[in-house]
Chain A
Amino acid sequence: DIQMTQSPSSLSASVGDRVTITCRASQGISNYLAWFQQKPGKAPKSLIYAASSLQSGVPSKFSGSGSGTDFTLTISSLQPEDFATYYCQQYNSYPWTFGQGTKVEIK
Chain B
Amino acid sequence: EVQLVESGGGLVQPGRSLRLSCTASGFTFGDYAMSWVRQAPGKGLEWVGFIRSKAYGGTTEYAASVKGRFTISRDDSKSIAYLQMNSLKTEDTAVYYCTRDSGYYGSGSYWYYYYMDVWGKGTTVTVSS
Interface residues of A, Cβ cutoff 8 Å to B: 1, 30, 32, 34, 36, 38, 42-46, 49-50, 55, 87, 89, 91-92, 94-101
Contacts and interface: CB of A to CB of B under 8 A. Distances in A.
Contact of A43 (B64, B117, B120): B120
A32 B117 contact: no
Interface string B56-68: 0000011110000
A44 B47 contact: no
B11 interface: no
Interface string B113-125: 1111111111000
B61 A45 contact: no
DSSP class of B's interface residues: helix, strand, loop or mixed?
Answer: strand
A55 B120 contact: no
Nearest to A96: B47
B44 A87 contact: yes
B108 to A, nearest CB: 10
B26 interface: no
Interface of B: 35, 37, 44-47, 50, 61-64, 97, 102, 104, 106-107, 113-122
Given A43-B97, A101-B45, 18 more contacts: A32-B106, A32-B115, A43-B121, A49-B102, A49-B117, A55-B117, A87-B44, A87-B45, A89-B45, A89-B116, A91-B113, A91-B116, A92-B113, A95-B47, A96-B47, A98-B44, A98-B45, A98-B46
Given A30-B106, A95-B64, A44 B45 contact: yes
B30 to A, nearest CB: 21
Nearest to B46: A98
Contacts of A42: 121
B122 A100 contact: no
A80 to B, nearest CB: 22
A6 to B, nearest CB: 10
A74 B33 CA distance: 29
A46 B46 contact: no
A43 B95 CA distance: 9
Contacts of B104: 50
